[in-house]
Structure 1
């Protein structure tokens, strides 16, 4: 599988506005809002920070149940997933299955606000959900 790079991390938060302000202050960079169309699943909104090409995203759940709301209930705020750039998300999904990992989605999802994405189940990677996102080189 061709990995482009570690694309970024997503951090689950309860109060998106509070944490967006805090991260803007600390990193001295403005965030870009991400509405529901920017996610593979409905009910989420977020803030995205481009920090030298690394994407740090804060994600909040606007509805129940979402994977983010379940994560927050079980673990509290914190790192929700690690995002890995791949050249071809369809190929990456096939290779995940062949290596014994469990993709969350049968087929990768493509949408208005994002490239093709798929995810591994956290139990396959020491409790960390991996996102494989199609990112051009």
Structure 2
């Protein structure tokens, strides 16, 4: 699979405003708010920090029924997923299947606020959910 590198890390948080302020203070950079349209699934909102081309994202859930909400209930705040850049998410999805992994989505998700994405289940990758996001070079 042709990777463009690690695109970023997503951290699940309960209090988005509190943690956004803290990360802005520590990294001395302003975040960009991410509304629901910036996610593959509804019910999420976040803050994105561009740290020299590396994206650190804080994600909060409006409900307990989202994957982030369930993660927070089971594990508490922390690293939710690692985002890997790929040239073509459709090709990456096929290649995941060829390696014996079952992508979470039959077809990559696409939307107004985000490029094509697909995911692996954490149990398939030592407890880490991977997001494959289309990031053209």
Q: TM-score range by the shorter chain?
A: over 0.9
Using structure 1 for the length normalisation, give the TM-score.
0.99
1:56 aligns to 2:60 (yes or no): no
CA contact (8 A) 1:82 1:130 kept: yes
For 1:103 and 1:16, the matched residues in 2 are separated by 28
Secondary structure of the residue that 1:127 maps to in structure 2? coil
* CA shift digits 1:22-57 (9 cap, x unpaired): 000000000000000000000000000000000000
**Alignment gaps of 5+ in structure 2:** none
Q: Within 5 Å, which residues of 2 pair with 1:117-136?
A: 117-136=117-136
1:8 match: 8
1:109 match: 109
For 1:106 and 1:9, the matched residues in 2 are separated by 23
Secondary structure of the residue that 2:127 maps to in structure 1? coil
Aligned length: 137
For 2:110 and 2:130, the matched residues in 1 are separated by 17
For 2:98 and 2:53, the matched residues in 1 are separated by 31
**Alignment gaps of 5+ in structure 1:** none
Query: Which consecutive aligned stretches of 4+ in structure 1 deviate over 3 angstroms post-superposition?
Result: none
